[in-house]
């Protein structure tokens, strides 16, 4: 069992941490040692395949054209997905407080695992 703690600060930034504990224990930890507002998400199930042979690590920059704010993401997608799929999935979404008016693929490659 593991939980994700999202720690939000007054300046709009946030940090995410993972702890090997249930939601109650993770919240107790966050209350005891973290500043700012915290939200805990507990993993309740696992989905997908554990037999991945190849995948595409992707690095993306999203930008809000109005404010100039940017944020960067990295994740892994199946080799059947391409740049257009990533851009379409992120376009006009808000991630880390940044509206994705502009989505730029900084890096994408195929990797054997």
Distance CA 102, CA 49 (A): 31
Examine the domain organization and report whether 38 and 58 are in the same domain: no
Residues 6 or more apart whose CB falls under 8 angstroms from that of 104 comprise: 60, 61, 62, 63
Query: Do 9 and 33 fall into the same domain?
Result: yes
| Same domain flag for 38 and 76 | no
Q: Is the pLDDT of residue 51 over 90?
A: no
CA-CA distances (angstroms) from residue 93 to 37, 55, 62? 23, 24, 10
pTM of the model: 0.59
Could you tell me if 38 and 59 lie in one domain? no
One domain, residues 25 and 70:
no
- CA 12 to chain CA centroid, nearest Å: 16
Supply the range of the domain harboring residue 10. 3-42
Whether residue 94 sits in one domain with residue 63: yes
Q: What are phi and psi of 111, to 5 degrees?
A: -135, 140
Structurally, the chain folds into a number of domains equal to: 2
Residue 113's pLDDT band, with cuts at 50, 70 and 90, is low
* Residue 26 placed within a domain: yes
Same domain, 107 and 59: yes
What confidence tens digit (pLDDT) does each residue in 13-46 have? 889 999 999 999 999 999 999 989 999 999 888 7
Position 97 pLDDT exceeds 90: no
Same domain, 66 and 100: yes
Q: Per-residue pLDDT for 93 more than 70?
A: yes
């Amino acid at each position: 069992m593991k939980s994700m703690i999202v720690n939000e600060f007054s300046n709009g930034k946030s940090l995410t941490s993972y702890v090997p504990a249930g939601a109650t224990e993770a919240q107790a930890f966050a209350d005891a040692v973290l500043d700012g507002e915290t939200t805990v998400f507990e993993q309740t199930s696992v989905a997908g395949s554990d037999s991945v042979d190849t995948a595409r690590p992707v690095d993306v920059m999203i930008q809000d054209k109005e404010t100039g704010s940017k944020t960067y993401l990295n994740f892994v997608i199946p080799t059947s997905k391409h740049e257009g799929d990533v851009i379409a999935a992120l376009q006009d979404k808000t991630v880390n407080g940044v509206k994705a008016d502009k989505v730029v693929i900084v890096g994408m490659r195929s990797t054997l695992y």
